Amino acid sequence: MTSAKRIVSWPFVLGWGVTFLMALPVLWMTLAAFKTEAQAIATPPVLLFEPTLENFAAVLRRANYPSYFLNSVIIAGGSTLLGIVVGLPAAYAFAFFPGKRTKDILVWMLSTKMMPAVGVLVPIYLLSRTLGLLDSAIALLIINMLINLPIIVWMLFTYFREIPGEIIEAARMDGAKPRHQFFFLLIPLAAPGIASTALLSFILAWNEAFWSINLTSWRAAPLTAFIASFSSPEGLFWAKLSAASLMAIGPIVVFGWLTQRHLVRGLTFGAVK
């Protein structure tokens, strides 16, 4: 095991090689975040440098960054919470009291996910304008909730279905009412599944860009829209762009890693586990 030959094998070299290539853009961005602006655009690229935190300080100072971050938290967190509250009872009913229409309703819910956002851009924009919800976090919160609700219901449904029927049967024999079964038995049993569902919903809402860009200008703009504002060619602020980006993706990457095993189930609607 200790011999270098055993460790540095073909799978090792190829596996880490492909990993390096996949991670390179993010690694390169992370390096740039700690460079000065001059180092960030230098050719040949600067690899050895004294890291600086100036870019992070500059972004936090100048760009009202905390407000964008807060908007992202409100929109992603609020839509996830609301989605779970609305989706849990439905998933419970589908999993434990299936009726003749259960399959149809589940498949129909999935089909609402297939509607391309751009197909309903105009009505949603006009409705938001009429209701005074343009550039408001509420509109984005609700839209993200609706976009992710089918995934939430499906994912919770697959977790509930894995709970053995005998457990519920035993609880019922002991005289537990359905309401008590739900709150004191099923929710604790499905807690890991509920947590991964919430994480996935949070990630998807955090990274949502289409509606964020089209329905906000500055007051309610989340991080996706804020980062987009760096595309205007007003100069090469790569170090600051990198610092802002790193702060924007940091928390979500950690969440993503936490939930990676459940990601597949959520995004394939239980078709691949």
Partner 1 sequence: MMASNEAIPADVVQSEADSTPDKDAPGVKTAPLLAPSVVLLLAWMIVPLGMTLWFSFQRYNLLSPNISGFAGFNNYAFLLANGALWNAIFNTILLVGGVLIATLVLGLVCAVLLNQEFAGNSVARLFCILPFFVMPTVSALVWKNLLMHPVNGLFAWISKSLNLPVVDWFTDLPLFSIGIIVAWQWIPFATLVLLTSLQSLDREQVEAARMDGARGWSLFTNITLPHLCRSLTIVAMIETIFLLSIFAEILVTTAGGPGNSSTTLPYLIYKIAMLDWNVGIASAGGVVAIILANIVALFLIRTIAHTLERQ
User: Taking CB under 8 A as the criterion, which residues in 184-243 touch partner 1?
Assistant: 203, 206-207, 209-210, 213-214, 223-225, 227-228, 230-231, 236, 238, 241-242
Note whether 4 binds partner 1 by CB under 8 A.
no
Q: Is 113 in the site for partner 1 (CB under 8 A)?
A: yes
Judged by CB under 8 A, does residue 11 bind partner 1? yes
Cα distances from 12 to residues 6, 20, 81, in angstroms, run 10, 12, 42
Q: Is 156 in the site for partner 1 (CB under 8 A)?
A: no
Nearest distance in Å: CB 205, partner 1:
11
Does 264 interact with partner 1 (rule: CB under 8 A)?
A: yes
115 binds partner 1 (CB under 8 A): yes
Site membership for partner 1, residue 256 (CB under 8 A): yes
Burial 150-174 (b: 16+ CB within 10 A, else e): bbbbbbbbbbbeebeeeebeebeee
For partner 1, give the closer residue by CB, 53 or 115: 115
Alpha carbons 68 and 90: distance in angstroms, whole number:
33
C-alpha R_g of the chain: 23
Out of 64, 112, 132, 183, the residue judged to bind partner 1 by CB under 8 A = 112
> Which is closer to partner 1, CB of 172 or CB of 219?
172
Q: Which amino acid is at 215?
A: L
Q: Which of 73, 74, 105, 189 contacts partner 1 by CB under 8 A?
A: 105
Q: Does 175 bind partner 1 (CB under 8 A)?
A: no
Specify the 3-state DSSP secondary structure of 34.
coil
| 127 or 191: CB nearest partner 1 | 127
Burial class (CB in 10 A: 0-12, 13-18, 19+), 263: middle
Residue 75 lies near partner 1 (rule: CB under 8 A): no
Query: Residue written as tokens 């509606």?
Result: 211
Q: Is 130 a residue that touches partner 1 (CB under 8 A)?
A: no
Q: Which residue has the tokens 């597949």?
A: 264
Which residue number, 34 or 206, has a Cβ lying nearer to partner 1? 206
- Residue 150 lies near partner 1 (rule: CB under 8 A): yes
Query: What's 208's DSSP letter?
Result: -
Q: Which residue lies nearer to partner 1 by CB, 107 or 191?
A: 107
Nearer to partner 1, 61 or 97 (CB): 97
Per rule CB under 8 A, is residue 15 in the interface with partner 1?
yes
Alpha helices for the chain (secondary structure H) = 4-7, 10-33, 37-40, 54-62, 65-96, 102-112, 121-130, 137-161, 165-173, 178-180, 187-189, 191-207, 210-215, 223-228, 238-258, 260-267
Is the Cβ of residue 52 or residue 214 nearer to partner 1 in the bound state? 214
Residue 47 near partner 1 by CB under 8 A? no
